[in-house]
Amino acid sequence: MKLQPLLVVLLFSFVLNAQEHSHKSLGAIVYPNVPGYKTLKTDLHQHTVFSDGNVWPTIRVMEALRDNLDVISLTEHIEYQPHSEDIPHPDRNRSFELALQEAKNHDLLIVHGSEITRNAPVGHSNAIFISDANKLLQEDAEDAFATAKKQGAFVFWNHPAWYPQNPDGNPNLSDFQKNRIKNGELHGIEVINTTDYAEESLALALENNLTIMGTSDVHDLIDWDYIEKGHNRPITLVFAKERSETALKEALFAGRTVAVFNSLLVGKEENLIPLLKASIVLEDVEYINKTSILKVTMKNVSSSDLLFENQMEHTFYSSSPVFTVPAKGTKTIQIKTLKRLSSIELKMKALGAYVAPKKHPVVKWQIDVGNN
């Protein structure tokens, strides 16, 4: 009989530890799938103690699981190893191997990647889907990019507007980048890195058909750099045919992405509009009593506050034409249709979203009012 309390304690401890190891969070990042594709939440630029970060690779896996991400990559600087006296590691693949081991029993994809780091004009770039990071450790940057291409890597230009390399805070598309694009060795560009959105980088993405990326570039804890400051980490939403590394790679090369940081969403029109449209579910559509005022509740199923401006010919009753539908929340609008209609097109400009520098997309939803 004396064993019974002990068994209860052990069982409680087991359940508690299982819950803790799940790493689930009430602040989990969510975005809806779009027609024809799975929406994969990715952070493909992160660091650990195996370059200039301050955490072990397993922590990055735990953070990603807590944030409900689908994919991460630990992109260590292969040339820059400031912790080498304390953590000697001649194998530049070690960070990836440790993360892969931690994630093996969890629903998280770990993509093998490394950062190729040089002074301007070469700058910093991430190569992901590589097979061996050690072979990228070459003196000549052109050789490193050529080797990444041989390994089938998707390569994107990191923080091109970074002021230590560009004092004016604007990206400089040098002959080096131009040649990499021409040779099929550079495929994407970060338009959001940490808390910085560079619309000049977005312009370069559109001009050169580069995949639009957003990343945390985290070195410390995600909690310290983002959560405690009231932010979600910046991520890239990738629209893939299925949830697999092969499908992810195809989607990145095809440019089906949207970069996200809190309420900021940046992407090509063909990718951003379906995401915005899917993020809003229309509920409780009905006319108020015997009036011609149509009540519509907009439910936001994403983790971004969505800021809209009315673009319809119909105006609102008792509401500003500019309004926010909070993340995972609702907003009820009242539309003055002047006469009762059986259907109406809801037309809104998404003010927190960009499809080009200073250009917002316009999103349309067809509403069936039903029996009015």
Helix ranges restricted to H, the chain: 3-22, 57-66, 94-103, 141-150, 175-182, 199-208, 222-225, 245-254, 269-279
Enter the pTM of the model. Answer: 0.93
Q: Cα(77)–Cα(81) distance, rounded to whole angstroms?
A: 7
Which pLDDT score is estimated for 23?
60
Tokens (6 digits) for 136: 């990228």
Strand order in the sheet with 362-368: 322-325, 306-310, 343-350, 362-368
Tokens 């697999």 — which residue?
244
Give CA separation, 300 vs 276, 305, 361, in Å: 9, 8, 17
Per-residue pLDDT at 11: 44
Query: Low-confidence residues of the chain, pLDDT below 70?
Result: 1-26, 371-372
With contact defined as beta carbons under 8 Å apart, do 34 and 274 qualify?
A: yes
Both tokens assigned to 339? 């006469």
pLDDT at residue number 45: 98
Q: From CA 12, how far away is CA 149, in angstroms rounded?
A: 51
Structural domains of the chain, ranges and CATH numbers in brackets:
24-262 (3.20.20.140), 279-368 (2.60.40)
In whole angstroms, give the CA distance from residue 298 to residue 331. 5
Torsional sign, CA 355, 360, 366, 367: positive
pLDDT at residue 165 in the model: 87
3-state SS track over 232-254 = CCCEEEEEECCCCHHHHHHHHHH
Strand duo 38-46 + 71-74: pairing: parallel
Measured in residues, the chain has a length of 372
φ, ψ of residue 237 to 5 degrees: the values are: -85, 125
List the Cα angle 324/327/330 in 5-degree steps.
65
**Type of residue found at 334:** Q
DSSP tally for the chain: helices H, then strands E: 9, 22
**Quick one: CA dihedral 178, 181, 184, 185, positive or negative?**
positive
Q: How far is the C-alpha of 65 from the C-alpha of 81, rounded, in Å?
A: 27
pLDDT at residue 25 in the model: 62
- Taking only the tens place, the pLDDT of each residue in 12-46 is 444 444 444 456 566 799 999 999 999 999 999 99
Contacts of 189 (CB under 8 A, 6+ apart): 156, 157, 160, 201, 204, 205, 208, 210, 211, 212, 213
pLDDT in tens, 99-156: 999 999 999 999 999 999 999 999 999 999 999 999 999 999 999 999 999 999 999 9
CA dihedral 50, 51, 57, 59 (to 10 degrees): 130
The total of other beta-carbon atoms located within 10 Å of residue 165's CB is 17
Q: What pLDDT is attached to residue 370? A: 74
